[in-house]
């Protein structure tokens, strides 16, 4: 067991589906056009923000999907060069762009659809200049990238940007190995779900339902 | 046996002469040109970006990996056809042993080439040695495939040596055994790249390893048959019809085993219903139905030809062999595209579903449901790599003494 198991709790009862966490992430990490490391998904009807059911019995909520920083990641095991790896001290799953050979095995192995992005071309920025944190690693063409839990911010003792960006205060960050942490208390007091539990990855992102 | 005595008397002098003709030289030059065009397209793909392929995050692999799977399988036949008779001391399939090994070597080289063109950073290939992660099935495959290629080359060299009366029969038999084990290993490990991925229900089955071996035997033997019949027609080798029929019957057996595995797998997926039932529906009536039924029909045709004595004529046998390769190609498409077709998490979002796959979106607009079809660049590059393969095959016929000694 790693010393820490950093992760997130997302309260789907508070989430209003505003996409601000996704955009904050995009700005913070200077993510290229058309790429999202974190996406707000509508659990309801067939299109964004639509509900399922018939009025007045409608149902809709949101989940935000990014790398789940699994305790038992499928991706780190399959990477032939160890470019994606779990950091032992805090359990964060990282990606080393300089090592990645672009074989996309990790994308094939990850059960969480679309959280890993391969830069199919030179990353473009529609506003014409770089944004975000200077410490965030620069993107590289033909390598795989994903949410790294803002490792550059963690190094400075700060929380990931999406936590700060959440307007509804639906996102929490902390160490699941510390029973006194806010996230541990939340999942011990509230009903939660994890995604794709049947794949045995034990994701470190919990959704309060 | 007279041949063998003859060989021993002329130790050191090759009995089998390389085969040269003007037509062959032209074909070699044409193939070299096609291969060169392929390299040009590859450079374009690297410079312009893989955005020019139809692969996207939701279907991260495409035609290149389909062809990789196919060619790893095709390489099996040659090695099996030549090594099994030597190993078990049974009567072989005529003088096509050396030719079969050379075909096998060419296919292995192509399999490696298809992986290389699929890589985003081919200049970083050295990372595989410097930072090897030994838990990765892809790493296992790279190791086994490299060994397989080296063993095949040693095996060809040993076969040529033994023909000249050098080396012992025991040594050749030992190399045959190693080559056979390597062949089984390489297909199983290639299957594990997919079969160990719990993320894709369609892939995650213990049957995939043995199934890849049976598919490899089927397509590989079919390729040897195609090459042998073509070269017999060209007058390069003499192959007795009895040997041809023997191989065709074996082809039928391999095909039956492959379809049997398919039936087992379909039943295991579909029986509990639920998401496994969705996988079966995707294959039989869904977006991949065309490839599913193509495989079944081609397979049944192969079996009919193989087990109907009246149909075992070179023309029909060639058709059955081509059908076998097409059936396995269809299977490879099912495995690859089918694995990505059903997303685990497919709620509507800013970019999801077909929008994460360029071809998927294009096809959806015209009413199609497949998540992936190759782009012109991918098809062009595949043609280029196939050109390289034919170039190697013909160059081998020209430069190496592959002509059966028995015919001298």
pLDDT, one tens digit per residue, over B198-209 is 999 999 999 999
d(Cα A185, Cα A192) in Å, to the nearest integer?
A: 12
A181 Cβ contact partners less than 8 Å away, ≥ 6 residues apart: A174, A175
Calculate how close chain A gets to B382, using CA atoms only, in Å: 17
> Would the pLDDT of B2 be above 70?
no
Q: Which residue in the set B115, B135, B343 is minimally distant from A77, CB to CB? A: B135
Q: Is residue B12 part of a domain?
A: no
Q: Is the predicted pLDDT of residue B116 greater than 90, yes or no? A: yes
- Work out the minimum CA distance from B131 to partner chain A, whole angstroms: 5
How far, in Å, CA of B81 to CA of B79, rounded? 6
- SS3 of chain B: CHHHHHHHHCCCCCCCCCCCCHHHHHHHHHHHHHHHHHHHHHHHHHHHCHHHCCCECCECCCHHHHHHHHHHHHHHHHHHHHHHHHHHCCCCCCCCHHHHHHHHHHHHHHHHHHHHHHCCCHHHCCHHHHCCCCCCHHHHHHHHHHHHHHHHHHHHHHHHHHHCCCCCHHHHHHHHHHHHHHHHHHHHHHHHHHHCCCCCCCCCCCCHHHHHHHHHHHHHHHHHHHHHHHHHHCCCCCCCHHHHHHHHHHHHHHHHHHHHHHHHHHHHHHCCCHHHHHHHHHHHCCCCHHHHHHHHHHHHHHHHHHHCHHHCCHHHHHHHHHHHHHHHHHHHHHHHHHHHHCCCCCCCCCCCHHHHCHHHHHHHHCCCCCCCCCCHHHHHHHHHHHHHHHHHHHHHHHHCCCCCHHHC
Judged on CB neighbours under 10 Å (0-12, 13-18, 19+), A121 is middle
Mean pLDDT of B383-402: 93
A144-145 and A117-118 as β-strands: parallel, antiparallel, unpaired? antiparallel
Contact in structure between B199 and A74 (CB atoms under 8 Å): yes
Q: What is the pLDDT of residues A29-68, one digit of tens each?
A: 999 988 999 999 999 988 889 999 999 999 999 999 999 9
This complex has an ipTM of 0.93
Please name the residues between 15 and 34 in chain A that touch chain B, using a CB distance below 8 Å.
19, 22, 34
A111 min Cα distance to partner chain B (Å): 4
Taking the CA atoms of B175, B179, B185 and B190 in sequence, report the sign of the dihedral they define.
positive
Q: Mind telling me how many Å the CA of A39 is from chain B's nearest CA?
A: 7
Residue A131: predicted pLDDT: 94
| More confident call, B81 vs B62 | B62
Chain A partners within 8 Å of B194 (Cβ): 108
Is the pLDDT at B3 greater than 80, yes or no? no
pLDDT band at B10 (very low <50, low <70, confident <90, very high): very low
The minimal CB distance from B347 to the residues A42, A109, A116 is found for: A42
Contact B131, A103 (CB under 8 A): no
Q: Tell me, what's the pLDDT at B83?
A: 85
Domain enclosing residue B25, as ranges: 19-343+352-407
Residue B407: per-residue pLDDT: 40
Give percent of chain B above pLDDT 70: 91
Domain presence at residue B277: yes
A122 near B CB under 8 A = yes
Predicted confidence at residue B349, as pLDDT, reads 84
Residues A10-24 have a mean pLDDT of: 95
- pLDDT surpassing 60 at residue B387: yes
Question: What does the pLDDT read at residue B167?
Answer: 79
Write down the residue that tokens 């084990």 correspond to.
B181
Residue A152 vs residues A5, A146, B230: alpha-carbon distances, Å:
17, 14, 62
Q: Greater confidence, B264 or B171?
A: B264
Instruction: State mean pLDDT over B371-385.
Output: 94
Domain positions in chain A:
6-208
pLDDT of residue B8: 40
Query: Is residue B7 in some structural domain?
Result: no
Nearest to B193 by CA among B261, B259, B144: B144
**Assigned domain for B56 exists:** yes
- Tell me the pLDDT tens digit for each residue of B63-87: 999 999 999 999 987 888 888 888 8
Domain count, chain B: 1
**For residue B271, is pLDDT > 80?**
yes
Check: CB of residue B295 under 8 Å from CB of residue B327.
yes
Cis peptide before B103 (omega within 30 of 0): no
pLDDT of residue B367: 64
Q: Is A78 on the interface with B (CB under 8 A)?
A: yes
pLDDT at B325: 97
- Determine the residue of chain B that is closest to A47 in CA distance: B348
Q: Which of A22-26, A156-160, B106-110, B241-245 has the lowest mean pLDDT?
A: B241-245
Res B1 pLDDT > 80: no
For residue A199, give the nearest of B48, B198, B343 by CB distance.
Answer: B198
Q: Which residue has the higher pLDDT, A179 or B14?
A: A179
Note whether A104 contacts B356, CB cutoff 8 Å: no
Query: Would B10 be classed as within a structural domain?
Result: no
Q: Which residues of B touch A100 (CB under 8 A)?
A: 120-121, 124
Residue B8 lies in a domain: no
Structure tokens belonging to residue A135: 């410490």
What does the alpha-carbon distance between residue A17 and residue A28 come to, in Å, rounded to a whole number? 19
The whole-angstrom distance between residue B55's C-alpha and the CA centroid of its chain comes to 22
What is the predicted pLDDT for the residue at B12? 40
Q: Which residues of B touch A46 (CB under 8 A)?
A: 348
What CA–CA distance (Å, rounded) separates A17 from B296? 47
Q: Which of the 8 DSSP states describes residue A175?
A: E
Q: Are strands A192-193 and A39-43 parallel, antiparallel or unpaired?
A: unpaired
- Give CA–CA dist A17/A1, Å, rounded: 34
Distance from CA of B70 to the nearest CA of A (A): 18
Tell me, what's the pLDDT at B386?
97
CA distance B49 to chain A (A): 5
User: Is residue B118 domain-resident?
Assistant: yes
Q: DSSP label at B94? A: S
Provide the CATH number for the domain formed by A6-208 in this structure. Answer: 3.30.70.20
Residue with tokens 């890993």: A116
**What pLDDT is recorded for position B87?**
82
pLDDT confidence of residue B166: 83
pLDDT at A168 over 60: yes
Q: What is the CATH number of the domain that holds B165?
A: 1.20.1630.10
> With an 8 Å Cβ cutoff, is A61 touching chain B?
no
pLDDT score, position B7: 39
Query: What is the token pair recorded at A65?
Result: 């999907």
The answer for B 120-179 residues in CB contact with A (under 8 A) is: 120-122, 124-125, 127-128, 130-133, 135-139, 142
What does the pLDDT read at residue B172?
86
Statement: residue B93 has pLDDT above 50: yes
Q: For a pLDDT cut of 90, what percent of chain A falls above it?
A: 91
Question: Would an 8 Å CB–CB cutoff place A51 in contact with chain B?
Answer: no
Residue A58, strand partner residues: A53
* Mean pLDDT computed over every residue of chain A: 95
Q: Are strands A52-54 and A57-59 parallel, antiparallel or unpaired?
A: antiparallel
Q: Which ranges of B234-346 would DSSP assign to H, the alpha helix? A: 241-270, 274-284, 289-307, 314-341
């Amino acid at each position: 067991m790693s010393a820490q198991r950093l992760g997130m709790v997302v309260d789907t009862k508070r989430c209003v589906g505003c996409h601000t966490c996704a955009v904050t992430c995009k700005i913070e990490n200077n993510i290229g056009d058309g790429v999202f490391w974190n996406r707000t998904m509508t659990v309801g009807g067939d299109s964004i923000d639509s509900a399922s059911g018939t009025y007045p019995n409608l149902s809709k909520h949101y989940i935000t999907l990014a790398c789940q920083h699994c305790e038992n990641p499928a991706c780190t095991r399959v990477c032939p060069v160890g470019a994606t790896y779990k950091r032992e001290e805090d359990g964060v799953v990282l990606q080393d762009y300089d090592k990645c050979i672009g074989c996309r095995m990790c994308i094939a192995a990850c059960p969480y659809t679309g959280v890993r992005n391969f830069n199919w071309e030179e990353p473009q920025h529609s506003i014409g200049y770089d944004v975000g944190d200077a410490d965030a690693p620069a993107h590289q063409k033909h390598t795989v990238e994903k949410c790294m839990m803002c490792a550059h911010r963690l190094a400075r003792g700060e929380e990931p940007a999406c936590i700060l960006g959440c307007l509804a205060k639906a996102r929490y960050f902390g160490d699941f190995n510390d029973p006194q942490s806010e996230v541990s208390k939340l999942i011990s007091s509230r009903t939660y779900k994890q995604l794709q539990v049947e794949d045995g990855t034990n994701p470190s992102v919990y959704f309060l339902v | 046996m007279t041949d063998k005595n003859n060989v021993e008397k002329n130790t050191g002098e090759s009995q089998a002469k390389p085969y040269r003709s003007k037509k062959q030289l032209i074909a070699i030059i044409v193939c070299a040109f096609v291969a060169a065009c392929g390299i040009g397209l590859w450079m374009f793909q690297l410079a312009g970006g893989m955005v020019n392929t139809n692969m996207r995050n939701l279907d991260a692999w495409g035609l290149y990996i389909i062809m990789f799977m196919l060619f790893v399988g095709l390489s099996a036949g040659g090695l099996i056809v030549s090594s099994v008779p030597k190993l078990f001391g049974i009567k072989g399939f005529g003088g096509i042993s050396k030719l079969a090994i050379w075909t096998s070597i060419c296919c292995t080289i192509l399999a490696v080439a298809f992986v290389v063109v699929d890589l985003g950073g081919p200049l970083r290939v050295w990372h595989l040695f410097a930072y090897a992660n030994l838990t990765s099935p892809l790493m296992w495959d790279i190791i086994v495939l490299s060994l397989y290629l080296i063993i095949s080359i040693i095996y060809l060299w040993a076969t040529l040596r033994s023909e000249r009366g050098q080396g012992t029969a025991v040594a050749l038999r030992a190399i045959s055994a190693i080559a056979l084990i390597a062949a089984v290993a390489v297909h199983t490990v290639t299957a594990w790249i997919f079969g160990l991925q719990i993320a894709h229900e369609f892939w995650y089955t213990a049957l995939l390893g043995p199934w890849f071996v049976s598919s490899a035997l089927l397509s590989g033997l079919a390729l040897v048959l195609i090459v042998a019949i073509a070269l017999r027609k060209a007058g390069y080798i003499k192959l007795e019809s009895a040997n041809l029929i023997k191989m065709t019957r074996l082809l039928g057996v391999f095909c039956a085993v492959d379809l049997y595995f398919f039936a087992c797998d379909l039943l295991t997926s579909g029986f509990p219903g639920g998401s496994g039932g969705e996988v079966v529906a995707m294959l039989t009536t869904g977006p991949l139905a065309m490839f599913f039924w193509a495989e079944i029909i081609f397979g049944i045709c192969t079996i009919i030809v193989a087990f109907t004595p009246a149909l075992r004529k070179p023309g029909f046998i060639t058709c059955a062999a081509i059908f076998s390769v097409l059936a396995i190609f269809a299977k490879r498409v099912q495995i690859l595209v089918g694995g990505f077709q059903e997303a685990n998490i497919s709620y509507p979002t800013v970019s999801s579903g077909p929008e994460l796959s360029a071809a998927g979106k294009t096809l959806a607009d015209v009413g199609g449901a497949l998540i992936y079809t190759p782009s012109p660049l991918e098809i062009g590059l595949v043609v280029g790599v196939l050109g390289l393969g034919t170039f190697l095959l013909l160059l081998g016929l020209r430069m190496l003494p592959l002509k059966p000694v028995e015919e001298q």
